[in-house]
Amino acid sequence: MLDRNKIDPATVTVKVDGISVEVANGTTVLDAIKGLNKSVPTLCYSDRMKPYGACRTCLVEVEGRKPVAACHTPVMDGASYRTASPFLTKLRRNITELIVSDHPLECLDCSANGRCELQSLAQQVGLRTPRYESPRTHNPPKDDSHPFVKLEMSKCIGCARCVRACDEVQGSFVLQMSGRGYDTKVIAGNDTGFEAANCVSCGQCVFECPVAALAEPGTREAGLPDQVVNTTCSYCGVGCSLDVKTKDGRVVNIEPSKRGSANRGHTCVKGRFAHQFAHSDDRLTTPLIKEGGKFREASWDEALDLVARRFKEIHDQHGPDSMALISSSRCTNEENYLMQKLARAVMGTNSIDNCSRVCHSPSAFALGEALGTGAGTNSFQDVHLSDVLMIVGANPTEAHPVFGARIKQAVLAGCKLIVLDPRNTELARMADLHIPLRPGSNVAVINAMQHVLIAEDLLDHDFIARCSEGFEEVKATVAECTPEWAAEIAHVDPELIRAAARMYAAGKASQILWGLGVTEAGHGSNTAFGMINMAVMTGNLGRPGTGTSPIRGQNNVQGASDVGALPNVFSDYRSVKDPVARAEHREAWGVEPPTNTGLRIPDMFEAAHEGKLKAMYILAEDVAQSDPNTTFVVGALESLDFLVVQEIFMNPTAELADVVLPGTTFLEKDGTFVNSDRRIQRVRRAIQPVPGTRVDAEIVHEVARRMGVDLGFAAEDGTVDASKVMDELARLTPKWRGVSYARLEAHGFLQWPCPDPEHPGTDIVHRGGEFLRGKARLTATPWQEPGELPDDEYPWMLTTGRQLFHYNVGTMTRRTDIVKLHKAKEETLRIHPGDARQLGIHTGDNVKVQSRRGEVTVRAEVTRAANKGTVFMTFHFPESRTNLLIGDAADEFTGCPEYKVCAVRLARVGSAEA
């Protein structure tokens, strides 16, 4: 018999500098060394990529053998390694001497000075001037054409870290090592430059470059930072951990944190480079009060007194429910908690909501109802453990780039990929199966997939029986939903639907991820329910690599909802009617919280139009621009008696305010965000609030104080201690009871549920099929037409979304260097070549896009990224006002609007030259 353990033992014992250590077989010598808290020099090694073994500076001695390169040599059972000796130092010095012999020695004038790995290696091994006489060197010219990557290839040491970073971390395959021998060099594309090679400007190559061959513009001029602050990105729900480098109180640059749990030392272009908005000249820096239709500057005291007085008056005159608050998923958990406490404990209303209403409320609702937690079930790292991924209505490589990059790596490593999306997204192009379904037909296709699972008996009967309820009902509902039936509705091949269902069911660990293409496409809750059904029916929950998880849009959209900035629940999604939750809040707050369900965002606008809502307090949400049906929203805000907007920049919503309060960016405050996989992470102040502005938590606290209630977290000088807010929040939130700043400091992050201070946090919810609500609920989801359908008059479907380089309405990104990128310059209407031909439209033509509600004119971009019959626009560019077009149809359960489905007609109104 073959004894595998003998041939291939699980662990081996080696000696490092005389210390015996047992490590897993296959461990590299370098990892064994690091495990002992020792180190050896490295240059080409990076723990974010596979070892490469090129620079040879990590050589170690092996007793009885030639030296080996530690980074890529697996340990040998019984071997004895030495990490330092005069011989090794000499070898390392002589290698360094060779490197430096083809390197301009201009350290003082170099952007890497003081942070250069070659420089510190030279110091470490004691290299002075190289002995080689007049060596032939490489001196290609500098290249400053890329806005974020400065090339000084005369300094390149040929370590290929940039190439490997682009391949193995970012997955864009822009760079390569070309040529051979001494003439090996790094090229972009076929030496055709970054742009042509579709560089996404993530900056990872710059981050990895050990020298200044690839450098970030501006770092040379700034010199070394005087402070590095670790914080969490405020753009998307990936929650990348960032190191903010500042000097003299200003941000010099931002780099990915190597210890970041969500991003593992990676970022996208936004988190990395789009930070200049914080120092932008047009920040709001003084409170503004509107008088006679015009804003005038006011002192903080005056503005806050006015806000408190008017809120009190309206409260006394019209009752608590004449007031409503919109909190912000851009702001911290602590600020959101304070906003809902202000609403409930001070104003006495449950009318508080946040923008997850317009994005992922259906996801939270369906997950909560069916499984018992309003959040995704598994963690980012699970994509590396899945063998089938199904991605529905999400474009993570653009909207959640760092997670998208990980999905790409998983697929490149062999994971099967199914994509349901009307667009030819990057992942759709990589997919094993792409179902290019018509916008609005998600439920039909998901129902048909369930039909196939049942009809072909691809079920996990044991899991269904043991862990779920409601199967018979679902079975009855989808009985008629054949692939042929769904194919009619979705305009796709029925065999594709069959194949996708089979592929999903065949996976040992299949995972479903979805995005706004589910929740903003009408009947979003039912689509989410359907996908959860699929996972339950095939037993794909509660294990690594399985699960059903929405990819959440904004940085803290999860957190804003988790902490109770919602009209029907306290934090932890506990109903405002739940007696236990009420008692806990009563005790903590000292007041009786209101009982009636408050207004959701769309209802608020409705109520304003009806005259029932008199006052609103909007925190950092540009609803006048980002909400659907812009005209209706603007009308609602105009009809209010009193509107307070707290913002960092003047925007269309703030224009309508009676009082504008200048808040701060994430760079100026302390707090926490919750990312898409329930990861609570710290936000830390990197720069002082810009003069004239105040931290948002403080402002909310002040408003409450002036209304006569001390929320209880402010020091003498009015500053709010965010950690104290967290303590109260954690006390009132059963699934967060183990969360505190001290623990976050120690662990870096905690994933809720984390019910007690000993609890390590939860990477996978519902482990072993033990659902938080007991049994998983299978939910019947009968098919309904979307609220919006094309007809002869409006024959095209418009769907909206994001592009990589911008973020939402662009308030932040458009004030940064991102605009230097050619691709980020203007809005376009993306249209399939076939459709374009039919309409006589060419790239660059002006096209009038008309929906049943409004019209806008944009330039066309003819591209195969759009599917036939469906055109695409983003909402990043205020001047194109995409949302003027969108209707007010909404999800029946949550009121989430149908951004993704809009019937339009198209007409060319001017040529490319016009």
Partner 1 sequence: MYEVELGVTLREIIFELAGGMAPGQTFQGVQVGGPLGGILPESMLDTPLDFEAMAAKGGIVGHAGIVVYSMEDDLMKVGRGLMHFCAVESCGKCFPCRIGSVRGTELMDQMIETGVTDARLALLTDLCETMKYGSLCAMGSMTPAPIESLLQHFPEALERYRRPAAE
Residue selected from 57, 176, 201, 723 as contacting ligand SF4 according to rule CB under 6 A: 201
Give yes or no for residue 391 binding ligand FES (CB under 6 A).
no
Helices 722-731, 579-589: crossing angle, 10 deg rounding:
150
238 binds ligand SF4 (CB under 6 A): yes
Q: Does 667 participate in binding ligand SF4 (rule CB under 6 A)?
A: no
Tell me which residues in 610-649 interact with ligand FES (CB under 6 A). none
Please choose, out of 19-27, 173-181, 212-220, 320-328, the segment that lies near partner 1 by the rule CB under 8 A. 173-181
53: contact with partner 1 by CB under 8 A: yes
Q: What single-letter amino acid sits at 652?
A: P
Q: x/- binding map, residues 112-141, to partner 1, per CB under 8 A?
A: -------------------xxxxxx-----
Of residues 450 through 489, those in contact with partner 1 by CB under 8 A are none
Sign of CA dihedral 335, 336, 337, 340: positive
Does 157 bind ligand FES (CB under 6 A)? Our answer is: no
**Residue 359: partners with Cβ closer than 8 Å, 6 or more residues away:** 516, 519, 520, 552, 553, 554, 557, 896
Residue type, 572: D
- Binding characters for ligand SF4, 427-466, by CB under 6 A (x = yes): ----------------------------------------
Measured CA angle at 834 (ends 831, 838), to 5 deg? 95
111-170 residues near ligand SF4, rule: CB under 6 A: 112-113, 116, 118-119, 149, 155-162, 165-166, 170
CA dist., res. 551 & res. 397, Å (int): 12
- Whichever of 6 and 180 has its CB closer to partner 1, that residue is 180
Candidate ranges 4-12, 49-57, 221-229, 481-489; the one touching ligand FES (CB under 6 A): 49-57
Using the minimum distance from each CB to ligand FES, give the nearer residue, 210 or 376: 210
334-363 residues near ligand SF4, rule: CB under 6 A: none
Give the C-alpha separation, 445 to 651, whole Å.
Answer: 40
- First and final C-alpha spacing in the chain: 80
Q: Mark the segment that binds ligand FES (CB under 6 A) among 52-60, 79-87, 116-124, 312-320.
A: 52-60
**Taking CB under 6 A as the rule, does residue 368 contact ligand FES?**
no
Q: Which of 457, 440, 466 is nearest to 501 (CA)?
A: 457
| Cβ-Cβ contacts under 8 Å for 313 (sequence gap 6 or more) | none
Among 184, 190, 198, 227, binds partner 1 (CB under 8 A): 184
Please name the residue that has the structure tokens 């589910």. Answer: 518
In the block, tokens 């689509």 appear at: 527
The region of 38-46, 262-270, 290-298, 701-709 touching ligand FES under the rule CB under 6 A is 38-46
DSSP output for 713-747: -B-TTS-B-HHHHHHHHHHT-GGGTT--HHHHHHH
Q: Which two tokens stand for residue 187?
A: 């090229």
Residue among 32, 71, 445, 532 that touches ligand FES (CB under 6 A): 71
Asked if 211 interacts with ligand SF4 (CB under 6 A), we say yes
Segment lying near partner 1 (by CB under 8 A), choices 95-103, 402-410, 434-442, 471-479: 95-103
User: Least distance in Å: CB of 409 to ligand FES?
Assistant: 22
Distance CA 881, CA 82 (A): 65
Q: How far apart are CA 659 and CA 672, in angstroms?
A: 27
In the complex, the smallest distance separating the C-beta of residue 553 from ligand SF4, rounded to whole angstroms, is: 10
Please state the closest distance from residue 167 (CB atom) to partner 1, in A: 15
Whole-number minimum distance, CB 128 to ligand FES, in Å? Answer: 22
Binding mask 256-285 for ligand SF4 (x = CB under 6 A): -------x---xx-xx--------------
**∠ CA(139), CA(144), CA(145), 5° rounding?**
120
Q: Does 50 bind partner 1 (CB under 8 A)?
A: no
Phi, psi of 228, deg, nearest 5: -125, 125
Q: Is 599 helix (H, G, I), strand (E, B) or coil?
A: coil
Token pair listed for 374: 């309003």
Among 41, 51, 158, 530, binds partner 1 (CB under 8 A): 158
Beta strand 388-392 pairing with 659-662: unpaired
- In the complex, least distance from residue 175 CB atom to ligand SF4, rounded to whole angstroms: 5
Is the CB of 104 or the CB of 748 nearer to partner 1? Answer: 104
- Contacting residue, 18, 86, 181, 292, with partner 1 by CB under 8 A: 181
- Give whole-number Cα distances, 554 to 400, 636, 639, 761, in Å: 9, 25, 29, 22
Which residue matches tokens 């900035």?
Answer: 565
Q: How far is 185 from 257, CA to CA, in rounded Å?
A: 28
Contacted by 459, from ligand SF4, ligand FES, partner 1, none: CB < 5 to 8 Å by type: none
In the stretch 160-179, what mask flags binding to ligand SF4 with x, by CB under 6 A? xxx--xx---x-x-xx----
C-alpha to C-alpha distance for 409 and 411, rounded to whole angstroms: 5
CB 159 → ligand FES: shortest distance, Å? 7
58 binds ligand FES, rule: CB under 6 A: yes
CB of 103 to ligand SF4, least distance (A): 5
CB of 14 to partner 1, least distance (A): 20
Stretch that binds ligand FES, among 39-47, 299-307, 527-535, 861-869 (CB under 6 A): 39-47
Pick the binder of partner 1 from 99, 428, 489, 535 (CB under 8 A). 99
Give the one entry of ligand FES, partner 1, ligand SF4, none that residue 203 binds, where binding means its C-beta sits below a cut-off of 5 to 8 angstroms depending on kind.
Answer: ligand SF4
The number of angstroms, rounded, from the C-alpha of 319 to the middle of its chain's C-alpha atoms is 39
Tokens of 886: 């969108």
Beta bridge partners of 152: none
Within 10 A of 38 (CB to CB), how many other CB atoms are there? 15
For residue 45, the minimal CB distance to partner 1 (Å) is: 13
Shortest reach from residue 73's CB to ligand SF4, in Å? 21
| Contact stretch for ligand SF4 (CB under 6 A) within 206-214, 485-493, 595-603, 863-871 | 206-214
Angstrom distances, CA of residue 465 to CA of 458, 502, 536? 15, 21, 10
Q: Interface with ligand FES includes 69 (CB under 6 A)? A: yes
56 binds partner 1 (CB under 8 A): yes
Helix, strand or coil, per DSSP, at residue 92: helix
Reading the block at residue 675, the tokens are 């990312």
Of 327, 323, 326, 328, nearest in space to 348 by CA:
323
Does the footprint of partner 1 cover residue 101 (CB under 8 A)? Answer: yes
**How near is the Cβ of 45 to ligand FES at its closest, in Å?**
4
Tell how strand 659-662 and strand 642-647 pair up.
parallel
CA distance 757 to 750: 11
Q: Any contact of residue 209 with ligand SF4 (CB under 6 A)?
A: yes
- Least gap, CB of 91 to partner 1 (angstroms): 6
Segments of 131-287 assigned E as strands:
150-151, 175-178, 185-188, 214-215, 227-232, 241-247, 250-256
Contact 403, 676 (CB under 8 A): yes
> Residues 788, 903: contact at Cβ < 8 Å?
yes
Q: Are 320 and 350 in contact (CB under 8 A)?
A: no
Nearest CA to 741 out of 334, 428, 238, 152 is that of 334
Q: Rounded to whole angstroms, how far apart are CA atoms 131 and 141? A: 26
Where on the chain is the footprint of partner 1 (CB under 8 A)?
53-56, 59, 66-67, 69, 90-91, 94-95, 98-99, 101-102, 131-136, 157-158, 177, 179-184
Where on the chain is the footprint of ligand FES (CB under 6 A)?
42-45, 53-58, 69, 71
Where on the chain is the footprint of ligand SF4 (CB under 6 A)?
103-104, 106-107, 110, 112-113, 116, 118-119, 149, 155-162, 165-166, 170, 172, 174-175, 186, 194, 199-205, 208-209, 211-214, 233, 235-236, 238-240, 263, 267-268, 270-271, 400-402
